[in-house]
């Protein structure tokens, strides 16, 4: 079996939603250069719905693929639905990841949560319970 599934390779080769949103309502960045991966997510939110999402990622093939898949899974979804996104759902949507690459999916989930925290903070809205005290995982 190859290291990566066809879905991972598809999202690596053709990543969806790459870029920045200049007037983003929420921005989240996790990871660091010493660990070899950084993900940055930009959200546009209207009427409690994620109307647009973009990402930039520094990292390996699975870091790029998990970023891409995570943005696809929550694009157009409500804030509540986005809050429910788990790294497990990202892994399943990619038909699996090698064990030592699971941390990439955790990073993708964390990047989205960090962007949502930024949105709730900036907009002055009440932080949902699941985001209170949010800390990204140690990479």
Partner 1 sequence: MKVYADNAATTYLSKTARDKLIECLDNYNGNPNSLHSDGQRTQEVLDEARAIVAGCINAKNPNEIYFTSGGSEADNQALLSAARGLSRKGKKHLITLNIEHHAILHTMAKLEKEGFEVTYLKPQANGIVDVRDVEDAIREDTALVSVMFANNEMGAVQPIPEIGALCRSKGVLFHTDAVQAAAHLPIDVQAMNIDMLSMSGHKFHGPKGVGILYARNGIRLVNVIEGGAQERGKRAGTVNVPGIAAMAAALKEGCDNMDANMSHVRKLRDKLIDGLKDIPYSQLNGDPVNRLPGNVNWSFEGVEGESLLLHLDLYGIECSSGSACTSESLEPSHVLTGMGVPVEAAHGSLRFSLDSDNTEEQVDYIIEKVHSVVDLYRSMSPYWEDLMNGTREHCIPEYM
Q: Which residues are catalytic?
A: 35, 104
61 or 96, CB closer to partner 1? 61
- Helices 61-74 and 6-13, axial angle in degrees (round to 10): 90
Nearest approach in angstroms of CB 65 to partner 1 is: 10
Burial class (CB within 10 angstroms; exposed 0-12, middle 13-18, buried 19+) of 31: buried
By CB under 8 A, residue 1 contacts partner 1? no
CB of 72 within 8 A of CB of 50? no
Q: Is 94 in the site for partner 1 (CB under 8 A)?
A: no
Q: How far apart are CA 53 and CA 44, in angstroms?
A: 6
Q: Which two tokens stand for residue 83?
A: 């809050």
Under rule CB under 8 A, which residues in 50-79 are in contact with partner 1? Answer: 56-64
Query: Which CB atom, from 13 or from 80, has the smaller least distance to partner 1?
Result: 13
Q: What does 100-138 look like in DSSP terms, one character per residue?
A: GGHHHHHHHHHHHHHHHHHHHHHHTPPPPGGGTT--PPP
Residue 57 Cβ vs partner 1, minimum distance, rounded to whole Å: 6
Kindly state the smallest distance separating residue 96's Cβ from partner 1, in Å: 17
Q: Could you say which of 11, 25, 26, 40 contacts partner 1 (CB under 8 A)? A: 40
DSSP SS3 for 26: strand
CB of 29 to partner 1, least distance (A): 6
Residues near partner 1 (CB under 8 A) are 9, 12-13, 15, 18, 29, 33-40, 56-64, 100-101
């Amino acid at each position: 079996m190859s290291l990566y599934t066809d879905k991972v390779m598809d999202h690596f080769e053709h990543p969806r939603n790459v870029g920045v949103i200049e007037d983003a309502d929420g921005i989240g960045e996790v990871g660091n250069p010493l660990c070899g991966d950084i993900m940055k997510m930009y959200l546009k939110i209207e009427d409690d719905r994620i109307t647009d999402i973009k990402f930039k990622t520094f990292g390996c093939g699975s870091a790029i693929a998990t970023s891409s898949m995570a943005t696809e899974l929550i694009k157009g979804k409500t804030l509540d639905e986005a809050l429910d996104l788990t790294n497990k759902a990202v892994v399943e949507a990619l038909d699996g990841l090698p064990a030592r690459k699971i941390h990439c999916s955790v990073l993708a989930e964390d990047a989205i949560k960090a962007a949502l925290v930024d949105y709730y903070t900036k907009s002055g809205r009440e932080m949902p319970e699941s985001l209170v005290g949010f800390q990204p995982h140690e990479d």
